[in-house]
Structure 1
Amino acid sequence: MSTQTITVPHLGSSTIGYALADEYDPARPTVVLLNSFTTSVELYRAQFADEELTRTANLLAIEPYGHGATRGGYADFTYWDSAVAALQVLDGLGIDRAFVLGTSQGGWIAVRMALLAPDVVRGVIPLGTSMDAESPRSRELGCWDGIAFLSPAIDALAEPVADDWVIPLELVDAVLPEGFGPDVDPETRAFWHGVHQQNYVGDAGRRRLRTSSINLRDRDGLLGRLDAVRCPVLWLHGTDDRVYSVANAKDGIGRFTNAPRAELRVVEGGQHFLSATHPGVVNAAVAEFVRGTA
């Protein structure tokens, strides 16, 4: 995958990393793909390689603030900022309307985009996500304890580091099983070790990583806003997701009360990074959803 950048005006002018699966075709609908915590556009390699899906839609992967090649003009950012910037990428590329798919944090960025720009977002496809904050209610429904998981790393990343610093592999190895499941194969582990150690370097990399971790731990929930979503929603969730539970997904999909369609599909054996662990199921569902909504 070839990552490009585009400048948008948000946060004092920002450089946003993105990738297109093929040359943009205005005759096809567009699907925006938003990656999960500390990953990059490479999370969607299996989608970019799917000929049927790329015939159905333009695939446009966009990296949120704190991730990949994206850099903000201001020092701090939130998920709302990533939603605004993604909408500005669409505007900068001349794309008037798009479907938005997001994995984990990408899912709630996608919904933020639908809330901010209902005339732009044609449909939302959340994967392995939650619409809640990291709340007691979430944990009661069987989700992880994100506060306990993230707080030690946030504390460890609090002090400035030298220019030769790279993200410690133990931090990467803490994330990978949560996304890919307990048996991460050596090739996948080595690939993501390389991506993380390329993207999180020096004190600027430490700051981006820490802010991304704070955003994940301390984010605002969307439960009270979901009735404002007016586009179709297709939520895909794996039974083996170690981060957010199927019970939480069932609760979340039921809150899109004013969406024309709101469907939850549970994927047997699916992991948190569902687009990577079960690409065939995801790709077919996305193509069907786009064809049925376009």
Structure 2
Amino acid sequence: MSKIEQTVEIPHLGGSTVGYTFAKSYDPALPTLVLINSYTTSAELYRPQFADPELVSAANLLALEPYGHGRTRASYQDFTYWDSAVANLQALEALGIREALVLGTSQGGWVAVRMALLAPDTVKGLITLGTSMDFESPRSRDLGCWDGIGFNTPLIDALAEPVGEDWVVPDEVVDDVFDTAMGGVSAGEREFWLATYRANYAGDAGRRRLRLSTVNLRDRDGLHGRLDEVRCPVLWLHGTADQVYSVANAQEEIRMFTRSPGARLETIEGGQHFLSASNPAEVDSAAIDFVQRWV
């Protein structure tokens, strides 16, 4: 099977192009599982899922890239996670998909929840991986989560000034992301992501997208006051080796989905922050079970 990588035009933010990837040709007889990637990655984060024949047979796998990531571009110059949620919903509409389950890794998790809040008739279930529903708060740090302000502020400051068109993202930025999110990667995987980041974040436009993506990560709004409005089932998967958000935080926040017909946390031993990449077998199996239970 071969992936189908395309873009779709939507009206949000003055007109936008959303990058999307299907694992194979769309089958209207199957449910759709939307995949939303983590900070500064792209649809390529989900290569293990696209390569899993059992998962591909259970659902249409559709990766949608948020603003600031991959091939997604907007006419307007600024964006938030709420904008990415709206864009994803408009992309589904443009693709003729009326209902979907949504899986998101880290920032993809809070985009997924925003989609469910905005369009409960469209989003029929949520799978969140290694995420947090809070802003980068003192509360989350007290529960063992990272210092997102300390991690992101130096990069935001370093990217403040315009650059030439020959600029590409520094290697150390990519290394910092994958050291934190994966505990490091193999030499081959590192070269793959270095090439991917250099293509996605090049020139002054790339610098600006990278900076805004980092600002959004640091300065986002929390969702605690809204989680009781989520009415679909929620499966939260969290790795015990996650260096960014803690299991203790996930244990508190899963209980905030008080109106979900089924909100459940599962921990994965040794799982990293980018859980779909570090533990694809466990994530894929849980996703298949979730799809079969709730569709």
TM-score range, shorter chain: over 0.9
* Correspondence for 1:123: 125
Partner Cα separation in structure 2 for residue 184 and residue 8 of structure 1: 35
Q: Map 1:106-255 onto structure 2 (within 5 A).
A: 106-181=108-183, 183-255=184-256
Q: Map 1:71-90 onto structure 2 (within 5 A).
A: 71-90=73-92
| Residue aligned with 1:16, SS | strand
Partner Cα separation in structure 2 for residue 14 and residue 157 of structure 1: 24
Deviation at 1:291, TM superposition (A): 0.4
Amino acid at match of 1:289: F
Deviation at 1:98, TM superposition (A): 0.1
* Correspondence for 1:49: 51
Q: TM-score, normalised by structure 2?
A: 0.98
Amino acid at match of 1:210: R
| Residue aligned with 1:100, SS | strand
Amino acid at match of 1:244: Y
Partner Cα separation in structure 2 for residue 95 and residue 45 of structure 1: 22
Partner Cα separation in structure 2 for residue 211 and residue 2 of structure 1: 28
Partner Cα separation in structure 2 for residue 152 and residue 175 of structure 1: 14
Partner Cα separation in structure 1 for residue 5 and residue 148 of structure 2: 30
Deviation at 1:3, TM superposition (A): 2.6
Cα RMSD for the two superposed structures? 0.6
| Residue aligned with 2:162, SS | coil
| Residue aligned with 1:244, SS | coil
Partner Cα separation in structure 2 for residue 99 and residue 29 of structure 1: 8
* Correspondence for 1:261: 262
Instruction: Assess if the C-alpha contact under 8 Å between 1:3 and 1:41 holds in 2.
Output: no
Partner Cα separation in structure 2 for residue 88 and residue 292 of structure 1: 26
Q: Where in structure 2 are there 5+ consecutive unaligned residues? A: none
1:191-240 Cα offsets, whole Å, 9 max, x none, are 11111001000000000000000000000000110000000000000000
* Correspondence for 2:24: 22
Partner Cα separation in structure 2 for residue 2 and residue 136 of structure 1: 42
Amino acid at match of 2:265: L
Partner Cα separation in structure 2 for residue 179 and residue 171 of structure 1: 12
1:161-209 Cα offsets, whole Å, 9 max, x none, are 001100011111111111111x421111111111100100000000000
Deviation at 1:73, TM superposition (A): 1.0
Partner Cα separation in structure 2 for residue 187 and residue 249 of structure 1: 32
Partner Cα separation in structure 2 for residue 73 and residue 86 of structure 1: 16
Partner Cα separation in structure 2 for residue 280 and residue 175 of structure 1: 22
Q: Map 1:90-101 onto structure 2 (within 5 A).
A: 90-101=92-103
- Which ranges of 4 or more aligned residues in structure 1 deviate by more than 6 Å? none
Q: Map 1:32-47 onto structure 2 (within 5 A).
A: 32-47=34-49
- Number of residue pairs aligned between Structure 1 and Structure 2: 293
Q: Where in structure 1 are there 5+ consecutive unaligned residues? A: none
